[in-house]
Amino acid sequence: MADAQRHVARFTNDSRIPGWDRAADLTKEPAVVPDAATTEVPAELRAAIEDAVRRFPVGDSAFIPALYAVQEQYGWCSPEGIEQAASVLARTPAALTAVATFYDMFRMEPLGRKTVYVCTNISCSLCGADELLEALEAELGEAPDVHIRGFECLGACDIAPMASVNGIYVGPIGLDQVPELARQIVAGDDPLPAKQLIKRPCADPKVAEK
């Protein structure tokens, strides 16, 4: 019964806010800009960040592309990767972490590389998205290297209920297609090829008439 009355989620140490339960280590000095001369950075990561820097008049604008590059390299925004990006950009790791934690697509924990976003926003949930997420989660179980989560409107409500599998939009997904989709996700195969948004014709009859 006590559980039923607890509306506010609690995290470690009874904190109400995730992350705030991790106390700062006061014995450590604040992180400074990593020394570019001694920080080793994988060549591809460095190249990707330097390319981003060239595209903007101000260096900070490269933060988001840099974080994508870190995520590509390590599978998540690992402290090591952020340190390396910070050294290339000559900024503190904290500056990058602050930006990374704002955005939903950056993984701050080592979750799977195969990302599956199931949209559970209004239009999709009117068409059974919550059931889809539940079924797909159950079907995937503890599949290695897979990260599945509910997501806000992905801009594809015309194919509700839908999912984005590593950036490929598929839908409408019937519950009977869940086992097949789960298998394709785990195997790294093209997800439900016949249901990919990219192949869908425009719904407007004026377009088809011509």
Partner 1 sequence: MTDTLLFTNIDEPGLNTIDVYLARGGYEQLGRALKMEREDLITELSGSGLRGRGGAGFPMGRKASFIPKGDMQKYVVCNADESEPGTFKDRELIQKNPHQLIEGLIIAAYAIDATINYIYIRGEYDQQADILDAAIAEARERGFLGEKILGSDFSVQLELSRGAGAYICGEETGLLDSLEGKRGNPRLKPPFPANEGLFNGPTLINNVETLSAIPSIIKLGAEGYAAIGVKDSSGTKLVSISGNVERPGNYEIELGTSSRELIYDLAGGPVDGRAIKCWFPGGSSTPVLTADDLDIGYDYDSIAAAGSMLGSGAIIVVDETQSVVELAYKLAKFYSHESCGKCTPCREGTAWTFHMVERIKEGTATPMDLDIMAAVQEQIIGHCLCVLGDAMAMPIGSLIAKFRDEFEAEIETNRNERERKLAEEFAAAEVEIEGISA
Can you tell me which residue has the tokens 């086992």?
A: 179
What lies within 8 Å, CB to CB, of 87 at 6+ separation is 33, 34, 35, 36, 39, 41
150-189 binders of ligand FES (CB under 6 A): 153-157, 160, 162
What lies within 8 Å, CB to CB, of 95 at 6+ separation is 60, 63, 86
Contact between 15 and ligand FES by CB under 6 A: the answer reads no
Q: How far is CA 11 from CA 4, 24, 67, 72, in A?
A: 17, 16, 27, 29
Contact 129, 160 (CB under 8 A): yes
Candidates 14-22, 66-74, 115-123, 201-209 — which segment interacts with ligand FES by CB under 6 A? 115-123
**Spatial separation of the C-alpha atoms in residues 18 and 41, rounded to whole Å:** 31
Contact between 173 and partner 1 by CB under 8 A: the answer reads no
Amino acid at 82: I
Contact between 76 and partner 1 by CB under 8 A: the answer reads no
Contact between 203 and partner 1 by CB under 8 A: the answer reads yes
Residues listed for the chain = 210
Contact between 149 and ligand FES by CB under 6 A: the answer reads no
**Spatial separation of the C-alpha atoms in residues 102 and 74, rounded to whole Å:** 19
Of 28 and 210, which CB lies nearer to partner 1 in the complex structure? 210
Contact between 102 and partner 1 by CB under 8 A: the answer reads yes
Candidate list 125, 134, 137, 186; residue touching partner 1; CB under 8 A: 125
Look at residue 36 and give the partner it binds from partner 1, ligand FES, none, a contact being a CB closer than 5 to 8 Å depending on partner kind: none
Shortest spacing between CB 181 and partner 1, in angstroms: 18
40-79 binders of ligand FES (CB under 6 A): none
Candidate list 15, 39, 78, 121; residue touching ligand FES; CB under 6 A: 121
Candidates 25-33, 79-87, 131-139, 202-210 — which segment interacts with partner 1 by CB under 8 A? 202-210
Helix pair angle (93-100, 79-89), 10° resolution: 120
43-62 binders of partner 1 (CB under 8 A): 55-62
Sites of contact with ligand FES (CB under 6 A) = 119, 121-124, 153-157, 160, 162
